[in-house]
Structure 1
Amino acid sequence: MLEIRCSRAWPPLAEAQLGEWVLRWAGGFTGRANSVLAVGDAGRPVREALDAVCDFAHDRGIPPMAQVVRDSPNERAIVAEGWVEAKRHRRGHEVVVLTTPLAAGRSFLRESVKSGPSDASFLGKVTGEPTPAWWELTLGAGEDSPAARSVLTGGKVGYGVATLDGVTAGVVRGALVDGWLHVGRLEVAPAFRRRGLASALMGAVGAWGVEHGADRAVLQVAEGNEGALALYAGLGYAPHHRYRYWVPAPGSRIEGEEDSTS
């Protein structure tokens, strides 16, 4: 299941099996690392499984939340237990998973992009260690924490940096899992947007993935992020499936709604 591979590219600080479901905790950094991945059989009735999800979350000081493939049997069962869509989720509670094949033979490591009225030298590279500037662009306001840094450095990871006129202008993260390149945390500084840096960074991390044995790429983007969806469609990414986040209903004994990033 592709969602399981994606989860392994985004490792939490703590996890536990609930049948085939995976309970995850990472200090509140992102929904993916602080929810149950409800894929497959929980090994018990769904009501009992959701009680265990709530116990796991409350014991670690986070609101209970479930990440579920849209329109799956598990989603229907969770809805039947009274859980509701996590519509206050800050990055969007409904997510599109996009994939594309990767091909060798293209070099994305150096390009020329427009900088005002004249061309400027652009250097994009992917390394095995994040730079201070990479962290600065990657982590939003209030996100920088030991938990966030642990999640983002777990596994086999490449850290893409776009340098324009000597300034770090954009970043991206690529993680390798079972022949898949999981792409995330693409960010271009506001002053450098609309110059092709996002596409160039995607190309650089894709080339890095091919170099390290990946033949397919996957990424996750909020349903309502039309700009990002258009960018990725133009780069050959196509929808694979969608997932949603679900939480206990307001007013219930186990109420809680996650407000982390995707």
Structure 2
Amino acid sequence: MEISARGRLEVRITAADVGKRVSVRRLNDPAAEGEKFTDTVGVLASWDDDVLVITRKSGETVHIPEASLVAGKVVPAAPARRRGPAATYEELAHAATRAWRPVESERLGEWELRASSGFTRRANSVLPLGDPGMPLEAALDVVRRWYGDRGLPAYIQTATGAEGTQELLCAELERLGWVREVSAEMWIGALAPIADRGEPDEVAGVVLSREADEAWLARYQRKGVSEVALEVLGSGPSVWFASVPGEAGGVPAAIGRCVVDGRWAGFAAVEVDPALRRQGLATRVMAALAQRALDEGASAAWLQVESENVGAREMYARMGFAAHHVYHHYREPGACGGEPRTTGC
């Protein structure tokens, strides 16, 4: 924390530092047990009515009474990752949206409004990169009408935890009553080590196709896949579907999807028969897809994983992936929760 020449803690931030990364120390409630102080690091999202709002890397918003501050300073951006490919948030956001294209989209300034009859939040949410071309509350009114006209709740996809992410927008959405419903992480890594994890004979046993056939869809966790869903699944610059055949040619033992886009290969829908997990099937699927992506000139990989999916996170870490940023979906006030859909709650 900031310490003066006389050895005293000092608060060296002001409301003029909104938008900067800060580190603050505050006094805890005297009635609470435990430590006397709490430290918070994140982006200073606002400082109004004697309350600081700080958004942490995880997207958590912390409200701190000004009177409880004992020290504070502006700190440098989080250090760059030490392994894997270099990437900006904006580059990854564009790569991810090209790999999961909505059936319908429309521009609102630099924002992109995306709709696909309720199939996944990613394909039914606003990607707010840049300026919507009007004040935020007016833009949110347009967003709510646009999704309402399509029978969908309005969602906005934001990100935190990396340079250029949207901590300020997250804080504003929460102030306006939008509800953070789902968060996950974007992980990235080098592509070649993923391909190297598959033995040649094992990779040769993985079937690659340009289309998701009925067998592949039978293993896919989202049931009742519609024509809209098939259109989204098949979207992207160069899409590949992988399957490890099951017994007697039935439902595959494992599946996966990969979209090759320039230097990036994006992995998704890696799923394994629950009775066959921890036998290396997911690794085989990803190795086969990675080898195909390398053949097409890609060198880096990305994927999205939920924090609760411990098994997947451990596997991806072993492959050399590491978290780049956290992304969130904010739902409009008063709308139904759960997956987007075209029917009522």
Q: Same fold (TM over 0.5)?
A: yes
Q: In 2 relative to 1, CA 171–260 (structure 1 residues): closer, same or farther, beyond 3 Å? A: farther
User: What displacement does 1:221 show?
Assistant: 1.2
User: What displacement does 1:164 show?
Assistant: 5.0
Deviations 1:201-235 (A, max 9, x none): 11111111111111111111112211111111111
Partner of 2:219: 137
1:80-99 equivalences under 5 Å are 80-86=175-181, 93-99=182-188
Q: Is the 8 A contact 1:108 1:124 kept in 2?
A: no
- Which one-letter code corresponds to 2:337 in the other structure? E
Partner of 1:198: 282
What is the rounded CA distance, in whole Å, between the counterparts of 2:171 and 2:185 in structure 1? 19
Normalising to structure 1: TM-score of the pair? 0.85
Q: In 2 relative to 1, CA 109–84 (structure 1 residues): closer, same or farther, beyond 3 Å? A: same
What is the rounded CA distance, in whole Å, between the counterparts of 1:154 and 1:138 in structure 2? 16
Please tell me whether residue 54 in structure 1 is matched to residue 144 in structure 2: yes
User: What displacement does 1:194 show?
Assistant: 1.8
State the superposition RMSD in angstroms: 2.2
Bigger relative contact order (CA 8 A; separation at least 6): 1
- Which one-letter code corresponds to 1:172 in the other structure? G
Partner of 2:71: none
- Which one-letter code corresponds to 1:8 in the other structure? R
Of 200, 208, 215, the match for 2:292: 208
User: What displacement does 1:20 show?
Assistant: 1.5
1:224-235 equivalences under 5 Å are 224-235=308-319
Deviations 1:21-49 (A, max 9, x none): 11000111000000111222222111111
The count of residues paired between Structure 1 and Structure 2 equals 242
Runs of 4+ that moved beyond 4 A: 109-112, 164-167
Of 216, 227, 235, the match for 1:154: 235
Deviations 1:78-117 (A, max 9, x none): 223221212xxxxxx01100001112874837445xxxxx
Q: Is the 8 A contact 2:120 2:340 kept in 1?
A: yes
What is the rounded CA distance, in whole Å, between the counterparts of 2:197 and 2:170 in structure 1? 42
Which consecutive residues of structure 2, in runs of 5 or more, have no partner in the other structure? 1-89, 161-165
Q: Is the 8 A contact 2:197 2:283 kept in 1?
A: no
- Which one-letter code corresponds to 2:172 in the other structure? A
- Which one-letter code corresponds to 2:220 in the other structure? T
Q: In 2 relative to 1, CA 242–221 (structure 1 residues): closer, same or farther, beyond 3 Å? A: same
Q: In 2 relative to 1, CA 178–50 (structure 1 residues): closer, same or farther, beyond 3 Å? A: farther
Please tell me whether residue 185 in structure 1 is matched to residue 265 in structure 2: no
What is the rounded CA distance, in whole Å, between the counterparts of 2:205 and 2:199 in structure 1? 7
Partner of 1:10: 100
Q: In 2 relative to 1, CA 249–107 (structure 1 residues): closer, same or farther, beyond 3 Å? A: closer
Normalising to structure 2: TM-score of the pair? 0.65
Partner of 1:90: none
1:46-125 equivalences under 5 Å are 46-70=136-160, 72-86=167-181, 93-103=182-192, 106=196, 108=198, 110-111=200-201, 123-125=205-207
What is the rounded CA distance, in whole Å, between the counterparts of 2:211 and 2:100 in structure 1? 16
CA radius of gyration, larger in: 2
Deviations 1:152-189 (A, max 9, x none): 01122001111255542111000122321111011111
Q: Percent identity?
A: 32
- Which one-letter code corresponds to 2:243 in the other structure? V
Please tell me whether residue 31 in structure 1 is matched to residue 121 in structure 2: yes
Q: Is the 8 A contact 2:152 2:340 kept in 1?
A: no
Q: In 2 relative to 1, CA 219–158 (structure 1 residues): closer, same or farther, beyond 3 Å? A: same
SS at match of 2:206: strand
What is the rounded CA distance, in whole Å, between the counterparts of 1:38 and 1:170 in structure 2? 35
User: What displacement does 1:124 show?
Assistant: 1.2
- Which one-letter code corresponds to 1:74 in the other structure? L
Which consecutive residues of structure 1, in runs of 5 or more, have no partner in the other structure? 87-92, 113-120
